[in-house]
Amino acid sequence: MSPKVLDKQTQLVRENEILDYAVTCIQNEGVSAMTIDKLAQDLPYSKGTIYNHFSCKEDLIVALCNRSMSILTKMFQRAITFKGYTREQALAIHFAYMLYAKLYPTNFLLVITAMSASVKEKASEQRQQQHVILEGQLLAGVASIFERAQEKGDCQPPIPMSLKQMVFSCWSVAFGTNALLLTEVESCSARSELVVECEFLNSIQLVFDGLCWKPLSNEYDWGKTIELLKTDIFSDEIAVLKSRGQCLAI
């Protein structure tokens, strides 16, 4: 008897089921505890079935990262539709990034592991190529805002900086703030009583001010912008957070 051939939709559903459980395993026990053997033990699929989807543990980790990038790209695409100043659109991008980190904290922190040389070199070529494509799509929308800001004269850094350098400066501050203040990260006295939403907004606004991105933080009612992001563009994500008993502090 020939093996049963699954349609693409059924394969996708099964693959996402495996990925979902892998996230749960990583969240509860850490990356090292998540193995193909454990997945096969806890899921209704054999090792062979799991290997049909992922060539190895590292391939699965990159697949998790790729799925997360797809989610984040869609959030960024909505952020770019915000009608207003280019700085408001940039703020919307970073607001989306903060929401993503709060909604998917394990996936957010996993990106560092997924991008390590030890993981990338073992992941399948197909998975790595997919990652490059997704990364390009993710960054394209971000870069477009910075480009428009420069073209319009909204953003004029006081020191010579390339577009890539400006994007990196904002991303590094955004990633660092989220990573240091996520509830999953062990706290220390330097971070006690700091709330991720407030510090995230403060930090990114300081970077924008440092880039001389108009209007400056003291020249505009940014609370109005945040409120529109919460009630309009990202109302679905805010609703999910509320269903988990989480409310934004901004």
pLDDT value of residue 40: 94
CATH 3.30.300 assigned to domain 1-53? The reply is: no
Q: How many angstroms separate the CA atoms of 22 and 24, rounded?
A: 5
Residue intervals of the chain classified under CATH 1.10.357.10 are: 66-243
Q: Residue 61: is its pLDDT beyond 80?
A: yes
175-222 per-position pLDDT tens digit: 999 988 876 555 555 556 678 889 999 999 999 999 999 999 999 999
Q: How many angstroms separate the CA atoms of 46 and 52, rounded?
A: 10
Handedness of CA 83, 84, 89, 94 (dihedral sign): negative
Sorted by sequence, the CB contacts under 8 Å of residue 78 that are 6+ apart come out as: 96, 233, 234
Sorted by sequence, the CB contacts under 8 Å of residue 172 that are 6+ apart come out as: none
Q: For the chain, how big is the Rg over CA atoms in Å?
A: 20
Superfamily designation of domain 66-243: Tetracycline Repressor, domain 2 (1.10.357.10)
120-163 per-position pLDDT tens digit: 899 999 999 999 999 999 999 899 999 999 999 999 999 999 99
3-state DSSP: the chain helix, strand, coil percent, rounded to 5? 70, 0, 25
Q: Residue 69: is its pLDDT beyond 90?
A: yes
Q: Residue 8: is its pLDDT beyond 70?
A: yes
Residue intervals of the chain classified under CATH 1.10.10 are: 1-53
- Average confidence (pLDDT) over 9-37: 92
